[in-house]
A and B are shown apart, each in its own frame.
Chain A
Amino acid sequence: MSTMTLADNRQQAAESEWAVETHGLTKRFGPNVAVNNVELRVPRGCAFGYLGPNGAGKTTLIRVLLGLTHANSGTMSLLGFDVPRHRDLALARVGAIVDEPRFHTHLTGRQNLELVAAHREPAARERIGPALDRVGMTQRADDKVAKYSMGMRQRLGVATCLLGDPELLILDEPMNGLDPAGMHDMRAMISTLVAEGRTVMLSSHLLDEVERTCDAVAIVDRGSVIRQGSISELLSGASVVLQVECSDDEKANTVLGTSNLSVQVTSGASGLDITLPPGAGREVIAEVARLFIDNGIDLYRLQPVHTSLESWFLEVTSRLGDAQ
């Protein structure tokens, strides 16, 4: 049994390098395991993507972290504070949107913020105006939420998160309902928030958005975190594909097959796709080019295509296999 005092916990919190940390976190709904023994570490001061297909358990993990539902086993901390033991201290500097942002539709946007701010420290009331300004909702703040579009509600949800001057923002599918301009604005705001020293953890199934927004990701599938780390680190371990246009595809296939290079060759739409082994360097690309030329194959185009987060995600999640 832990004998850590509140003062100890505050000290530990201040020294913790992780904004979110979980160990063996598990949440079951009857026989279904929604969160399965999750080991997650979100570094402070970065944009972190929690990535997974629909039904992977992203929202459930967020709900467990925020104390909206109880974990069956495991430990967790937010901003270094043990949760649920010091949940109140931890959440004092956390802003979160879970699922879609919901509000009292008979109240105005400003009144909804006032209601939430009343549940925070007194200084939160002074942040209502700046928060509305920051999400571009000042002009519509005194309209009833019933008249808001989905995108406006999403913005108001972000404003709600900002009331606590959060060190950590947890945003569940923040791009939902936003038009392209709104998505661009949201990305810019997340970048600014991170630049201010805040941590933004966002869950999404929009891989492209996560790749553009986040510094690090965790991939979740069927309730389990299957990979986590910085995007560049994760993709460096992925395969590189060379797209090749040449004078004789059949001969090129034979040459590569008899070489000592461990490559896979498939016919693509405009030539050959040559998949190099994970971690292959530039010298392998040069060796491929040399083989073509030495064997009298004219080379019209040789283009390395770096793996996108999306293709890598599909590679590592079991969902692709299921779909096929």
Chain B
Amino acid sequence: MSWDGIAPGLRSFVVWAMDVSSVPILVYFVLINSSLLLIILLAYLEFRAQQRRRATAVSWQGAGLAPGVSLLVPAYNEEAGIVMAVKSFLTLRYPRHEVVVVDDGSSDETFARLEAAFDLVQVPRELPHEIPVRATVLGIFVPRDGRTRLVVVRKENSGRSEAINVAINAASEPLVAMIDGDSILEPDGLLHVTRPFADDPTRMVATGGAIRPVNGSRVVSGRIVRVEMPQTWIPRIQLVEYLRAFLLGRTGWSRLGGLILISGAFGLFRRDVVVEVGGLDPGSIGEDFELVMRIHKRMRDQGRDYKVEFVPEPVSWTEVPVTAKVLRNQRRRWHRGLWETLWAYRGMLFRRKYGRVGWVALPYYWLFELIAPLLELFGILIVPLALVLGVVNVPFAILFLVLAYGYAVLVTLSAMVVDEWAFHKHDRWRAIWQTIAASVLENIGYRQATVWWRLEGWWSSLRGKKHVWGVMTRTGFDEGAP
């Protein structure tokens, strides 16, 4: 069939599709942008308060009420950086913390490196079974010096969630921090993120800290000595995504009392609460999100007075994907996890007892996080088609695109202002121009690709396809690493 034969039918279809969808899409567009504006406003209010607090901060070294923290580090084939990471975790400024590393059946030298570096000896200890785990624990080790607060648990390979559950069982402090082995913590990061627990010890159950990409920065012996922009555009664009997510999104939600997502790269929880809800769900793809949702549900079901807070101070630095392949796998996983968790907790929607979580946060995540890529894909397909078929006013379409993407840039720039005002981590002027460029370039190709990948993740879940964890290729960044 020739183009001339197809064109009239296709044109009719496109006209019909645009007629039917124009009003709902316009309403959606207005709603999503208004809600973003509201979150920016809430984040602004929170940052104003934070800025006042920072301007009048008094030194706090955690004496007195600082609760002990167990840093839980799941490690799978991390031989390259594990020793440096553990050393840097052990030397964080905090009055009482231990490091619990769980070697999740690594096939490389992860354990051997730890054993040599810390002169480990096996302890004939049995771990508590407060959180049930399937995998067999092969051994528990501690440093021979009897002083270094490190526990290494070897177990059969069974995935990150189970590794963390084993670490929770092995942890002895009242707070547990879940942290990736390749993350870098700010020297005072624990002091920042535990402060809400010390200020409100009977109500605080979880806090999350801001996470930033470490790519491009100068790292020596597990410490960042100079913050730099990533050298390529894919991580640079992720940097602006992180700025938006942490400096506006999480801060705004925290202010509203509806924080339902704490990043897996760094989250701090009351151990007894995590145990009470059963730990991480090994069957969940979005296990961190799922855990926070389970905590909210449990607390509200029991009518308990509790708090989940976000700490906007940069706490943890992590390496973000530098290739499209790894990024694709990550985004597929994230969106699949989002869908599965939202679906699992759909019963919390619009229920009075779940308060702002059920009435505001969850509906927002359904409407503007889960469904957004679907509508965006519709726009990506229909607008060029309409332009080709000549069924749309070209200047009008271009103006609409400029408005839509201009708004996205505006949101990113708002986050940049907050960052510059409150934290100013990047010294160089060049970093400003690169961040602005990244916020524009994000809309040309990157955003469309991530829309597709997110839908791939959702689709694979709907088809019941088993999720395969990809390998996050680490380029390595520590100049002090062996």
A pairs with B? no
Interface residues of B (CB under 8 A from A): none
Interface residues of A (CB under 8 A from B): none
